[in-house]
Amino acid sequence: MNENSWFYQWRKPTEFLQRRTELSQEVDDADHRTQGNKWSREAWVLGLFAVATGATDLRLMKNDPPDGQVQLAGRVVPIEIVEAFEEGRQPDKEFKTGQRKHLVTITEQDHELRLIKCTIERTIRKKEERGNYSNETVLVIYLNMGNDTRIPPSDVSEVVRAKSDQPSSKFDAICILWRNWLFGPKHIVKDGRVTIDLRLIED
């Protein structure tokens, strides 16, 4: 049985994330970004989404789309997952070298905000143009951009939240996972933004 086949069964969010973390620790840093470990990255995002939204159970899908499903508010919600980062950036090489390469030099805060806004818009547009999704599908964007901060800067939060509040032509909702915060419309994410306490999912 493949390691990832365990994740195809309905699991509780805490055990799901803990199992994923255990397996991730067995993988060399240089291999985390390989196509063969794409399921692991999606499992992490799906698990954090489940914790943030209060989903009772979740699972990855063997045949996508969608990438996964969660049981939320008494119904099964299909989840499509995508990572968003600066155009031209290659995160897979960053894991191999241990250094993040900024292909765009950000010298002003408003430049960074525009870059984040444009990246999110481009990611949504590409997803809406590709694939056939059911009307109930929620798009979860893992925003792999910006500096590490304990509290989300208000200006960045406003940009991210505005994008997650916009209606989509293909998806029931768009949620954005940035660091340990999940942004999304209030029928999915309570109060529009939830802080994920990662200590709750640690061993």
Measured distance CA(144)–CA(116) in Å, rounded: 10
Q: Is the dihedral of CA 176, 181, 184, 187 positive or negative?
A: positive
**Range of lowest pLDDT (17-21, 73-77, 82-86, 98-102):** 98-102
pTM (two decimals): 0.83
Measured distance CA(102)–CA(99) in Å, rounded: 10
Average pLDDT over residues 61-74: 93
pLDDT at 108 over 70: no
Cis upstream peptide for 152 (omega within 30°): no
Q: Taking all residues of the chain, what is their mean pLDDT, rounded to a whole number?
A: 80
The string of pLDDT tens digits covering residues 31-51 is 455 555 688 889 999 999 999
**Range of lowest pLDDT (21-25, 37-41, 100-104, 141-145):** 100-104
CB 153 within 8 A of CB 122: no
Cis upstream peptide for 66 (omega within 30°): yes
Non-local (6+) Cβ contacts of 47 within 8 A are: 13, 16, 17, 20, 58, 201
The DSSP string of 14-49 is HHHHHHHHHHHTTS-GGGTTSGGGHHHHHHHHHHHH
pLDDT at 149 over 60: no
Tokens of 155: 């200006």
What are the structural domains, with CATH classification, of the chain? 3-201 (3.40.1540)
Region of residue 191 (left: phi > 0; alpha: psi -120 to 50; beta: else): left
CA-CA distances (angstroms) from residue 83 to 22, 41, 146, 194?
Answer: 22, 9, 14, 19
